[in-house]
Structure 1
Amino acid sequence: MCGRTSNQVDIKEIETQLQCQCANPEKYKPKFNVAPTDFQPALVCDTKLNKSIKIMKWGFIPSWSNKNKNNDTKTIKAINARAESLLGQQQLFRRVKQNQRCVIVATGYYEWKKEENKKVPYYVSYKDGKLLKLAAVYDILKQEDGTELYTYAIVTTKCSESLSFLHPRMPVILNNDLDIMNWVNPRNGFNKVKDLMKSTELNDNLQCYRVSSDVNKVENQSSDLIVEVKEENVEKKPENKSITDFFGKKSDEEVKKVDTDVKKEENEVKEEEDAKENDVKMEEVKEEEKPTPKPTPKSKPKPKATKGKQNNVKKPAASTNKSAGQKRKMMNKNTNAKKAKTQ
């Protein structure tokens, strides 16, 4: 299946590459995200082998649908035409496959790979930026106002081996000018061109890589849509779990994971507290290392005089008191004087 393409090339550049003129360029608008119902350039050819570019609407509407009373031109009949359907007798494409074949030009196309419960977008393009030429069939619907509406469906086939990881189907890519001209030539019946509906392998020029999921929204039209996204840069969104899953019994692995997370948080808290404690201790050490100031000597207080008790204070002995040596001399003199009287 091919449900989204990219074509940001100006119409003048497309005319140069296809070497023909566009009949209705005002309907074309370059986009990085082309979806069904958008208008895109298509290479067509008349019976005189004159090539031209027609801006067509993506979504095949057969010309006979205008016979319906509702005439609902907004109804998309088909965005793809399977190669197997063209080889068969399917009514929708049985007439147009004979001589109303065209080539849709694009810078690349998007495809989604299924991974578990989600789809991952990939982008397929030429490495040198050359336009992809996709095989398609078209029809012309005459509207009530008399104007003609060109609509197309891209032809798809079984995917090549190198791209089979992505999707079981892929668009038919016409790789050279001869194949392109044979496909659009209305003189060639379908049997002459049916062998062109084959898959294309990835090679030195054709590339495929993962892109942003922003391409899922048609309104996104940024150049970032065609930029390769590495696996490690893909943001993993948390799974949405019901309230029953939240309160339900957890498996052993979930319990171990919770225990590990709790221990990890406890270790982080402990490390943070230890760090704070070390900071406090460092501050205390700095305080102890500061020199302590010497105490200022205080003057002794003078004794206060007490009234009424002055007579009881003992006075020191008079300076006339004789020493012990003088007393012994006086005693010796008295002794000697007594002896003299006796004699």
Structure 2
Amino acid sequence: MCGRYALALSNEELYDGLEARLPRLFENGRPRWERQQDNRGGNYNVAPRQRAPVIRRDPEDGERGMIETMQWGLVPHWTKHPPTGPLNTINARSEGLLDASSGGMWHALKGYKRCIVPAQGYYEWLKKASSKIPHFTRLPLDKSSTAEHPPLLFFAGLYDTVKYVEPVQSKFQPNLDDPEDKREAYPTGNPIPLATFTILTTEPSKDLRWLHDRMPVILTDYEDIEKWLDLGKTPQKGWEEGKNGTGALLNSKEGLDCYPVPSEVGKIGNNSPTFIQPVSERKDGIKSFFSKQQSSPAKVKKDEKPLSSHTNNLQKNHESDIKPKVENTENVKEEAEGIKSDITNHDKEKGLGDDSNAPNNQHDQQTAETSDKVIGSSQMKDEKNNNSEGEIQEVKVENHKRKREEVDSQDEAKKETEEPDPKPKRGLGGHQTRVTRKTVDEGSKEQPAITNFFKSPSQPQSAKPTTKPTARGKRKR
């Protein structure tokens, strides 16, 4: 935890949400936003290696906070080359920050590189015997929010900025042929420095221990956020030890709403407003499933006669014998709700830190990096052409299959009209097997009865009859 979260707001909507939740952050106007063009708005499924807005102390004005679009998955500033494997730094255990003797890279960042991550809620996977069910956790709704637009909460986090020793080619480039395309290349770490962040986790609250053994550190009060970001203090104090120090903010949060959501959220790149809505309130949810079952009872035919009590009991016993047993009624409910996951033992969970439970793997993290890019018009055309070529190929395969079926049917009809071969063929059964009579040249061997030819396979072929054939069984020559 935390392996996924939701922030489905545009840049303007995020500004409005921050002003509603943290009005003191806007006392001197809107906070400035660095790399605002990199934010991918409307993301209901933020995944590792994707970019998202983060709030930190403004180095130009320590009295205020600022927004910066960063990449999820912290890369320390001393890193020389971009990581090629899975990122294990999307989460950081808060206990490691509290123990000064534990060492580690988090102590080098906790003093002056603290941040908060705005979100509408986070996902966690409840482990079952053969599946994992995703759940969405958020703040309770108030008068100004709905299930589609829940209130903002803020994760406590750390950030860092890295510049690699060698240039890194950007995977995104603006359309140079379009003069109106003002987009800039994404930060790569060289030549453009790359800012990354991690989310702090702690032990879960009592009301969420059933879900997972970790949860993110959530801040909601402005006083706590101001202290965590070290705002309004010149010079910057950094990390304060002691009972009432900075570490006192790293606690679990109680009173959150949590409910199951569709399993489609488990795949990186999927994005839908239904991911944050309770399944029971959706049109295709559990209520709709059972209402359909009740509204369509089995109809009895008019011409059917009522069965006697004895016949009815026999029918019930027969139905109980052939009716499949339901091993787990909870699985039936999960399928009806649309939340049953198809996670197999093949699925790996690497790259999500030491306490994550999201069904991600290394390939998914690389997919997340590409899914976060803005697709240009030329790329969209290529995708359309590829789709049309695929449809043409499917039509060709279907036509070939149809022709092959016609040829097979013609061959089958031809075989039926042909006369059987007078010579017996070995190994063939059915109407092609011919039974021949004994000739004079065959010697004095007796002709076996035709019933012996079709004897049961369970009887050995070498078995001899215990009694001699009667005169009736013999044929005249």
Q: Which entry has the higher C-alpha Rg, 1 or 2?
A: 1
Q: Normalising by structure 1, what TM-score?
A: 0.64
| Cross-structure match for 2:52 | 40
**Alignment counterpart, residue 124 of structure 2, candidates 111, 120, 144:** 111
Distance, in Å, in 2 between the alignment partners of 1:189 and 1:257 is 73
Q: TM-score, normalised by structure 2?
A: 0.47
1:77 deviates by: 4.1
Instruction: Find the residue that maps to 1:64 and give its secondary structure.
Output: coil
> Which residue does the alignment assign to 1:62?
76
Q: 1:257 to 1:169 in 2, by over 3 A?
A: farther
Residue 134, structure 1, aligned to residue 134, structure 2: no
Alignment of 1:196-275 (within 5 A): 196-202=249-255, 206-230=256-280, 232=286, 260-262=320-322
**C-alpha distance in structure 1 between counterparts of 2:323 and 2:266, whole Å:** 40
Separation (CA, whole Å) in 1 of partners of 2:129 and 2:67: 42
The equivalent residue for 1:158 is 203
State whether residues 9 and 107 of structure 1, in contact with CA within 8 Å, keep that contact through their aligned partners in structure 2: no
Matches within 5 A, 1:176-187: 176-185=221-230, 186-187=236-237
User: Could you tell me which residue of structure 2 aligns to residue 172 of structure 1?
Assistant: 217
**CA displacement, residues 245-272 of structure 1 (integer Å, 9 cap, x when unaligned):** xxxxxxxxxxx999625389xxxxxxxx
| Partners of 1:158 and 1:168 within 8 A in 2 | yes
Q: Is the CA contact (8 Å cut-off) linking 1:15 and 1:21 kept in structure 2? A: no
**Matches of 2:122 and 2:271, distance apart in 1:** 14
Residue 135 (structure 2) pairs with residue 122 (structure 1):
yes
Q: Which moved more, 1:127-136 or 1:51-60?
A: 127-136
Q: Which amino acid aligns with 1:170?
A: M
What is the SS of the residue equivalent to 2:161?
strand
Counterpart CA distance in 2 for 1:263 and 1:123 is: 36
Amino acid at match of 1:28: N
Question: Any conservation in 2 of the 1:61–1:75 contact (CA below 8 Å)?
Answer: no
Q: Measure the CA separation in 2 of the matches of 1:198 and 1:105.
A: 17
User: Separation in 2 of the partners of 1:257 and 1:35?
Assistant: 53
What secondary structure does 2:79 align onto?
Answer: helix
2:90 alignment partner AA: I
Which residue of the partner structure matches residue 24 of structure 1? 35
Match of 2:239 in 1: 189
Change (3 A) 1:258 1:223: farther
Q: Can you give the 5+ residue segments of structure 2 that lack an aligned partner in the other structure?
A: 20-25, 168-189, 231-235, 290-315, 325-477
Change over 3 Å in CA distance of 1:120–1:257 after alignment to 2:
farther
Task: Name the aligned partner's letter for residue 152 of structure 2.
Answer: L
How many equivalent pairs are there? 238
Partner deviation per Cα, 1:99-120 (whole Å, 9 max, x = no partner): 1000000111000111222111
TM superposition shift of 1:84: 1.1
Q: CA deviation at 1:232?
A: 4.1
> After the TM superposition, which residues 97-108 of structure 1 pair with which residues of structure 2 at under 5 Å, given as runs?
97-108=110-121
Q: Letter of the aligned partner of 1:134 in structure 2?
A: F
CA distance in 2, matches of 1:216, 1:188: 38
The structure with more strand, counted as a fraction of residues = 1
8 Å Cα contact 1:112-1:122 kept in structure 2: yes
- Whole-angstrom distance in 1 between the partners of 2:131 and 2:196: 32
* Alignment partner of 1:81 out of 76, 81, 92: 92
Q: Which residue of 2 aligns with 1:148?
A: 193
Structure 1 Cα separation of the partners of residues 136 and 211 of structure 2: 10
Distance 1:233 1:214, change over 3 A: farther
Measured after TM superposition, the shift of residue 76 of structure 1 is 2.2
Following the alignment from structure 1 to structure 2, what is the Cα–Cα distance between the partners of residues 132 and 95? 26
Cα 1:53/1:262, change in 2 over 3 Å: same
SS in 2 for 1:218: coil
Task: State the secondary structure of the residue aligned to 1:65.
Answer: coil
Query: What secondary structure sits across from 1:182 in the alignment?
Result: helix
- The code of the aligned residue for 1:213 comes to S
Matched position secondary structure for 1:99: coil
Unaligned runs of 5+ in 1: 236-255, 265-343
More relative contact order, 1 or 2 (CA 8 Å, 6+ apart):
2
Deviation per CA, 1:83-105, whole angstroms, max 9, x where unpaired? 11112333221110111000000
Q: Which residue of 1 aligns with 2:178?
A: none
Measured after TM superposition, the shift of residue 15 of structure 1 is: 2.5
In the alignment, what sits opposite 1:242?
A: none
- Sort the Cα spacing of 1:187 and 1:259 in 2 relative to 1 into closer, same or farther, 3 A: same
Paired-residue identity, %:
33
Amino acid at match of 2:155: L
